[in-house]
Structure 1
Amino acid sequence: MKKRRPPSAFGYFLTGVVCLLLAVLMAFGAGKVIGPVVLLLLGVPSALLALRAPTFAVSYGPAGVRYVGLFGSRFHPWSDVREVRVAVLTGAIYSSDVPELVLTSGTTDQLLMLGGQSWGRIRNRRVARLVTDLEAARTAAS
């Protein structure tokens, strides 16, 4: 079973830790009424990000592909995956390349935490290599 982690996972972890520390400092300085609200609105999402970021990954092998993202993990056996491709999520300033699984049911599953930025017609090579590896593993398993 091969495992790939996004290089941005460390950055997400640091962001979560810094925001959690800021939320705790703001909560202690805000008072008895506003403090718990600050912890709830800023501290809980920051703690979730700090705890989940080190586990962001995609694992793939002969059985299928397992994706671990921010809100949980998913497993798809290769028999349920028809194709692996690069999806382009467009934005106002730049676009983002994301690995996308096209399932036999006709739905898609985007592996969002493994995405990477791209500029116009220039594609993210890391995402393209990951999609190529996933597609090779899928064809080898079938």
Structure 2
Amino acid sequence: MRKRRPLGALGYFLMGGACLLVAVAMATGVRQAVHLLPVVILGVPGAVLTFRAPVFGVRYGPDGLRYSGLFNARSHAWADIREVRVAVLSGTVYSSDVPELVLASGGTDQLYMLSGHSFGRARNRRVVRLVAELEAARAAAS
């Protein structure tokens, strides 16, 4: 079973840890009254990022793939996946390339935490390589 993590997972972990530290420092303030709103605004996202970032990514093998994102994890057998391709999410300044699973049921499943940004018409090479790996693993399993 191979595992691929996004490059930003370490950044999310560090950002979550920093938010969590600031929230703890604000909550343990001795001289000031504790203001609950800033603690909740920084502490909850900090805790989510700190504890979910280490599991971001996709695992794939002969049985299928398992994707772990920010709030959820999904599994798909290779028999349920018809194709793996690169989808483009357009924006006003830049676009994002996202690995997309085309399911046998006709739906799609986009793996947002594995996306990569690109400018202009150039594709994100990291996303293209990941999609090629996933497509090769799917083809080898079928």
Give the alignment's TM-score, normalised by structure 2.
Answer: 0.91
Q: For residue 39 of structure 2, what is the amino acid of its counterpart?
A: L
Counterparts of 1:123 and 1:44, CA distance in 2: 34
Moved over 3 A (4+): 26-30
Q: Structure 2, unaligned stretches of length 5 or more?
A: none
CA drift of 1:40 comes to: 2.1
- Counterpart of 2:73? 73
Residue identity over aligned pairs, in percent, reads 64
CA drift of 1:28 comes to: 4.2
CA RMSD for the aligned pairs?
1.4
- Counterpart of 2:118? 118
Matched, 1:31 2:33: yes
Q: For residue 114 of structure 1, what is the amino acid of its counterpart?
A: L
Counterparts of 1:12 and 1:76, CA distance in 2: 25
Distance 1:61 1:92, change over 3 A: same
| Aligned positions of 1:1-142 closer than 5 A | 1-29=1-29, 31-32=33-34, 34=35, 36-142=36-142
Give the alignment's TM-score, normalised by structure 1.
Answer: 0.91
Q: For residue 26 of structure 1, what is the amino acid of its counterpart?
A: M
CA drift of 1:87 comes to: 1.0
**Contact 1:56–1:68 at 8 Å: present in 2 too?**
yes
Counterparts of 1:50 and 1:91, CA distance in 2: 28
Counterparts of 2:105 and 2:123, CA distance in 1: 28
